[in-house]
Amino acid sequence: MNIRIKQSEFYSDYPHILEHLQGLVKPSAESALSHKLLHLVRLRASQINQCGFCQHMHADEARKSNEDQARLDVLSAWKELDCFNNKERVALEWTEALTLIHSSAITEELYSTVENVFGKQGLIELTSVILQINSWNRISVSLQFQPTIC
């Protein structure tokens, strides 16, 4: 596989992208979004987008935040398993809907559910996290960033 643009080169040549993408996510002090939840959301979007670099990174971060490996192993099947709580399920459903927005409608029911579970501020914060990870996935996939395991 040819290296398109090295990761370090990308960040040094285009630091504004790094700054702006990092700036998208600034959860409030009283945020309803836990670190564990954020890791699940980022990992699930990265699975959908087939971003190996981000999957590796977010699975590693999730484990460091004491996420159970067993839950990470079955994250892509979250709809059929009861090891994810209601808040996580709603966040994962919102993640999938926004990540796959080209093929799925954002229904009033889904929007209301997310707002009821997370509140208006939480919905905005969650949406920002999903927007951010989808942007990172597109950068990493298009430029073929490789995780350190490869």
Per residue in 50-100, pLDDT (tens digit) is 999 999 999 999 999 999 999 999 999 999 999 999 999 999 999 999 999
Instruction: Decide: pTM greater than 0.85.
Output: yes
Residue 70 lies in a domain: yes
Place of tokens 């490789």: 146
Residue 27 lies in a domain: no
Looking at residue 40, which CATH number applies to its domain?
1.20.1290.10
Q: Helix 15-23 and helix 108-143: axis angle, to 10°?
A: 160
> Distance between CA 89 and CA 97 in Å, rounded?
12
What's the number of domains the chain is made of?
1
User: What domain range is 69 assigned to?
Assistant: 32-143
Residue 80 lies in a domain: yes
Residue 148 lies in a domain: no
Residue 74 lies in a domain: yes
